[in-house]
Structure 1
């Protein structure tokens, strides 16, 4: 997004925003004003969003659930960080020693081993520490008392975990959290989309899904400003900026942005083709390939060129076609600098003109 698309500028730091609301919300970061007050403990916050997250400490609400292990989180950012423990993704790299981390906060702490920065000062003996938690533990040596992690609620009793899961013995503070967790075992999906009938185990999952029907895309990329209807789609998109491909084939070491692409790719080694066309019995290794194939039978061509009106069965074919109108040639030969509108044409050029054994264009969607 260019500056002309962000006309509302912060007078303090010059950062631009697309609307007045974004600028107003940002301005609070420069102010000491905290107008949003918690009704439970009277803690104050600069934004409504920060207050909403804090209130979940009191209510026990954890709306973001890991699909791999069922662990729940109060914030989407914490879920994203946790999911990297499953994928092994470490997008944050130290510029000094190249060590990688799965969270920007861990990189920030690590960098202090190089800079020598110790911003946390003990109020009792003035000793300095690089990590806040290390300071907290140090303070115990002076006070003899472990500090509370959160302020105790003035209006709500402290709630101890007392609802056990009969299947895995995991404990929960609230019955609602237990009921939600049990669905990871029973596979029950009580939340139905009234538009298409798709079922979900969590109300939050249904809420995100509804964005597909409404066209709402509330999740924005901070790098290129692309917008998405679901946080998972945003996470996958962000990997295209970082270049991180956490899903690697153990047969040929080819890596992918998405687990589904890896699963589909592995079938090229095994020869498995589980998706069968009901009309001609042709088999496919991926469901999206079957979906595209079915359009040959139905004649459906959902992708229409806005320039000449020609329609196509596949989105990538439309993208290639559009380059005839724009003149764009994004695929360039590194040897002779000849450019092409299609990756396949470049592949053929490299093979015939330069005798290069390059990898054929990927069919990853």
Structure 2
């Protein structure tokens, strides 16, 4: 039998070199047209779920609202003017002041120790590592499943 190598025509070569500038936000696959992208989504060919990474630390979230809530953890800490204790959220400082947890007679170190003891913790059920955020603990636990 005779094997013949067929060269693609110039017309086909031009089509093959078209830039794929439409990218699926879900899975990263690139397309040459909106129609191809829409069909990809409609046909259920998308393999990856949409994720929302934190631009400050890289932590990834499955919902935009969770990522926005997480961004507060990167804010400057709130400081109690009476004792110097610091808090990640303004609401925690307000709660600290309302519940009379603050005493001007306490040292800053005592007040900070008290605040740390009252911070909720979320242990990993697999390795026991402690987290102060439920979301961070869940993110960590995914590493055990890999």
- State TM-score, norm by structure 2: 0.27
